[in-house]
Amino acid sequence: MQRSSTARSNICGQILQSRKQVQTNNNPRPCDVFINHRGIDTKRSVAGLLYNHLRRDLRLRPFLDSKNMKPGDKLFDKIEGAIGQCKIGIAVFSPQYCDSHFCLHELALMMETKKKVIPVFCDVKPSELRVKDYGNCPAKDVDRFQMALEEAKYTVGLAFDTLAGDWSEFLARASDAVIKNLVEVEQERLISRKQKSVPQFHCRTYIKNLNN
């Protein structure tokens, strides 16, 4: 428990520090967690509570369309920009999730941009999730949706029953999952930065040194 608290404190501190640097440079501020959800099912329950908890209690910067968008925003530009800049994603699957090709488009974008995605199966089992093709969606998009959905279904996630589940326990588990994934992303970023800073070793230089 103490290790989890320490990791949570460290990652939140790093995020807040990077946020200050972004504000100093007057650049758009990226979100930490993109919440992909079906509004009709979960906006006023799981998705909304997750957003408030991550923002208020963990001081992170989550993205939820109804909270982060304002009249006049270009829908696709705003959503796709948030997905491209976010560190991780949460996909809240619900009974009517697959009825929305827009939800599936967001999921596909997260998978295609190699984001870490935490699946939350809310009142639905993974086996019940199927892409529904009503004939009004291009075949290539249907394929994208199916691939993304299959990847999400075989990713370890959280299950929650909104009628019988313990909400406080769910939020605690979701918080731990978010923090652990943010820590992993931050560690991978630091490793990548160190690797890029190491001078590249060229074969010609090696041969030249041998001949001298």
Tell me which residues are annotated as active site: 106
Residue type, 76: F
* Three-class SS state of 31: coil
Q: How far apart are CA 132 and CA 134, in angstroms?
A: 6
Return the closest-CA partner of residue 115 out of 145, 89, 85, 90.
89
Return the closest-CA partner of residue 28 out of 84, 99, 109, 97.
84
Q: How far apart are CA 210 and CA 187, in angstroms?
A: 37
